[in-house]
Amino acid sequence: MEINGQSVSRETQERLELFIELFKKWNKTTNLVAPSTLTELWSRHVADSAQIFQLSPEPKRWVDLGSGGGFPGVITAIFLAELNDGWVDLVESNNKKAAFLRIALKETGARGAVHPVRIEKAPETIQRCDVISARALAELDLLFDYIHPWASRNPNLRAYLNKGRDYESEVQKARSRWQFDLVKHRSAIEADSVVLEISNLALKG
């Protein structure tokens, strides 16, 4: 099996398939994604999430903000299971979604833990990380507010943020308050979308 042109092991494929089955079952009672996107789970959600890990495939300590239905946090944790190293701390304040995430991690044997707290409070319990991911969560300026506590503790921290076609205006707005290095990775899924790789994040002044 290939995802975004990269081979995936049989074991990882089985974990992903199990996750999708759990997802479909839970989505009937808990609104994890819009029903209109259910028919595109693999292309719209799994593959889109997988490209985050594929940009940084070594074992690391991840924090996934606003994990929701597990994209990309659980997908990253499933890939790390094959490496038998690395970890994902999934931050999700909605208790129903957090319950789903816990079961998904347990059933698939993925490497992660769920923190049912508001994002602003997460740095109090998750002291350090190497990488941060977030998908369809907030504008860059607000995301940087969330990320900054970890960036101030780890100068080598990187963030991988899925963004749609209007990302340029978000980048310009964020530059009024923040200084940061930016690498734009074209999405393997949608022509107008990108994954923004952020490093050296700091408040201006």
Per-residue pLDDT band at 38 (split at 50, 70, 90): low
pLDDT of 37 higher than 70: no
Per-residue pLDDT band at 63 (split at 50, 70, 90): very high
Contact assessment for residue 83 and residue 59, using Cβ atoms and an 8 Å cutoff: yes
Return the C-alpha torsion angle 97, 9, 84, 50, nearest 10.
Answer: -40
- The whole-number pLDDT of residue 34 equals 66
Contact assessment for residue 68 and residue 97, using Cβ atoms and an 8 Å cutoff: yes
Measured distance between the N- and C-terminal CA atoms of the chain, rounded to whole angstroms: 49
Q: Which residue, among 128, 163, 115, has the nearest Cα to 143 in the 3D structure?
A: 163
- 83's enclosing H/E stretch is helix 73-83
- 149's enclosing H/E stretch is helix 140-153
- The whole-number pLDDT of residue 36 equals 60
pLDDT tens digit string along 77-109? 999 999 999 999 999 999 999 999 999 999 999
For the beta sheet containing 61-65, the strands, ordered from the edge strand earlier in sequence to the opposite edge, are 112-115, 87-91, 61-65, 131-135, 158-163, 194-203, 178-186
pLDDT tens digit string along 103-138? 999 999 999 999 999 999 999 999 999 999 999 899
Q: pTM value?
A: 0.95
Pairing between β-strand 131-135 and β-strand 112-115 as defined by DSSP bridges: unpaired
- DSSP string covering 23-35: HHHHHTTS--S-G
